[in-house]
Structure 1
Amino acid sequence: MTEVGILGTGAYVPDRVVSNDEVGAAAAVDDAWVVRKTAIRERRWAAPEQATSDLAAAAGRAALESAGITADQLSVIVVATSTPDRPQPPTAAYVQHLLGASGAAAFDVNAVCSGEVFALASVEGILARSGGHALVIGADLYSRILNPADRRTVVLFGDGAGAMVLGSGRGARVRHISAHTFGELSGLIEVPAGGSRMPCDPAALEAGRQYFTMDGRAVRAFVEDQLPGLVKQFLHEAGVVPDDVRHFVPHQANGVMLDTVFEQLALSRAAMHLSLTRYGNTGAASIPITLDEAARAGAFRRGDLILLAGFGGGMSAGFALVEW
């Protein structure tokens, strides 16, 4: 079995900056309300001609450059997204073509905001057995599926992509990964129409069923009730104690909620890294974007333990422990 590590990271966010006042206008909320409820101050939204694959490819190029390898050296490309370019084919196929990585197998993973960790788990297993290099990208373009009048969701989300190159030998070692799904809670976060259960027909469009929906209070209860115990279990399985963790990189859901959760986790020697104040909740992209920003800022030292924690629709939760 080959030991797998993160060889490089990259990120991309669109140029357009969207303020709280702009996004909140149709939802009848202002900047002060959004900051008080979420700690988000602005987000980025994609240009009309951009799709999820465009964001993903840009982040992938940055990660390849960071890792010092070329696209033709990739054996696997995985895109974690819940906002694909189209229902078919996989967005990863478009990314493979855009990068010129013709020798790589390419597929998508949809675990919503936990997607990057789920994708990481999939690729880690493949590379541990077969070697090679893989590109794991979290990319979401939520601005296309938000109801402008729904203040519970429209103020939260931005568009972006983050990426990691994985391989053997050098880099940050992936020490342990765990993933969980709570399917009985699948109705808490969803896009009701557009699949085989409810086609996106005129009746569904008239009812607004094509939009992202979320039971915010129930989601927060899930995170606050489940995450501390799951993290404790994960660290025990990894053979470390909370004080060993130096950095916490969570899914960038809501800054106010994350402050509460971070206190509950009792990671007393860890720094929590946030990017949501500028980018909002970027779905599966939020963990790799935040990791890339922290890495490029020199936040990590050799030997530091970094806890990645994703949680989101499904409901799902995923954790990875990385030794820098």
Structure 2
Amino acid sequence: MTSLRSVVVGTGSSLPARVVTNAELTERVDTSDEWIVQRTGIRQRYLAAPEETTSVLGTRAAQAALDDAGLSADDIDLVICATSTPDHTFPSTATQIQAALGIRQGAAFDLQAVCAGFVFAVTTADKFLTTGGARRALVIGAETFSRIVDWEDRTTCVLFGDGAGAIVLEAREAEAAEGRGVLSSSLRSDGRHRDKLYVDGGPGSTGTTGHLRMEGREVFRFAVGSVTDVIVEALERAGTTAADLDWFVPHQANRRIIEASADKIGIARDKIVLTVDRHGNTSAASIPLALDVARRDGRIREGDLVMIEAIGGGFSWGAALIRW
């Protein structure tokens, strides 16, 4: 049987038109720019207009990734959208993106692992591609978290933003891939931590969308203390170490969490890709947004060893190692 690798061949991203600074938020809730920056590293975020739905942002990011890869709708036979803020309860946002792009073949579905969704989606797409279930996949992270935050809760509303990012993965024979592709991954979930980060509504419980609720200190403690296990396991499965990484592209939730996690693993801070200052926490969109920024500004280059990592509500967390 031919051995296959899932190789990244394109990236793309999309942000809403409206930029909201910390200064603007001080007019809405009792907070300050100093307080937000000191505790999170966030200076601004993007908020979607009513017509900028999750599928609209996701479609723009996916099209940008296709253009970057030099591919068309006819070349894609799998679409996975990681999101916690779908346009509708059903059909899936992925099918709406599929239709908007003119993709008429293959499968499309959403994946929900909150902020860890993109890592879970990359891992899932990799399984399809390396087992012959698809040839090329669009893997998208798209969110409009501004729709579910409580704008009277100053501890959470300042954290989140809207946006979308996408990559194109292509199945290639291992020899032709020349070492590139998804090398390993590690995923975890522990539903006992539900009350630390959740939305207090849903169609099967309250019949409403609900609002995001978070115990910030508990999330911080768990994120720094427990989730590094998936990074270590992904490195071990690939037979490499943190010292070999060229870039660490984590979920952009909080600068203090990111830096503390990197320090714990032994990842040099100059290898961290940080976009939380300009994007805020965009949940499943944060990693592909950061990947697109770092690739387009020349930091991430072909052959680089890149680690992506995230933790989301549930808790669910994961890491994946990619040779670019």
Q: How does the TM-score come out when normalised to structure 1?
A: 0.94
Separation (CA, whole Å) in 2 of partners of 1:24 and 1:115: 31
The offset of 1:70, in angstroms, is 0.3
Q: Which structure 2 residues correspond to residues 304-315 of structure 1 after superposition, within 5 A?
A: 304-315=304-315
| C-alpha spacing 1:178/1:233, structure 2 compared with 1 (3 Å) | closer
Q: Which structure 2 residues correspond to residues 7-156 of structure 1 after superposition, within 5 A?
A: 7-130=9-132, 131-156=134-159
| C-alpha spacing 1:211/1:104, structure 2 compared with 1 (3 Å) | same
Q: Which residue of 2 aligns with 1:203?
A: none
SS at match of 2:155: coil
The offset of 1:257, in angstroms, is 2.2
Separation (CA, whole Å) in 1 of partners of 2:4 and 2:26: 49
Q: Which residue of 2 aligns with 1:205?
A: none
Q: Which residue of 1 aligns with 2:261?
A: 261
Identity of aligned residues (%): 40
Separation (CA, whole Å) in 1 of partners of 2:136 and 2:259: 36
- In the alignment, is residue 174 of structure 1 matched against residue 182 of structure 2? yes
Aligned residue type for 1:306 = V
Q: Which residue of 2 aligns with 1:222?
A: 222
Separation (CA, whole Å) in 2 of partners of 1:230 and 1:90: 28
Deviations 1:149-206 (A, max 9, x none): 1111100111000000011235941111111111111221111212312322xxxxxx
Aligned residue type for 2:230 = L
Aligned residue type for 1:157 = F
| C-alpha spacing 1:40/1:269, structure 2 compared with 1 (3 Å) | closer
Contact 2:259–2:269 (CA under 8 A) maintained in structure 1: no
Deviations 1:225-281 (A, max 9, x none): 112333223211221111111110000001122222221121138600011111101
Separation (CA, whole Å) in 1 of partners of 2:187 and 2:230: 10
- In the alignment, is residue 319 of structure 1 matched against residue 319 of structure 2? yes
The offset of 1:288, in angstroms, is 0.4
Q: Which residue of 1 aligns with 2:300?
A: 300
Separation (CA, whole Å) in 2 of partners of 1:104 and 1:162: 21
Q: Which runs of 5+ in 1 are unaligned?
A: 201-208
SS at match of 1:3: strand
Q: Which runs of 5+ in 2 are unaligned?
A: none
Contact 1:245–1:269 (CA under 8 A) maintained in structure 2: no
What is the alpha-carbon root mean square deviation over aligned residues? 1.5
Aligned residue type for 1:244 = D
Separation (CA, whole Å) in 1 of partners of 2:142 and 2:20: 18
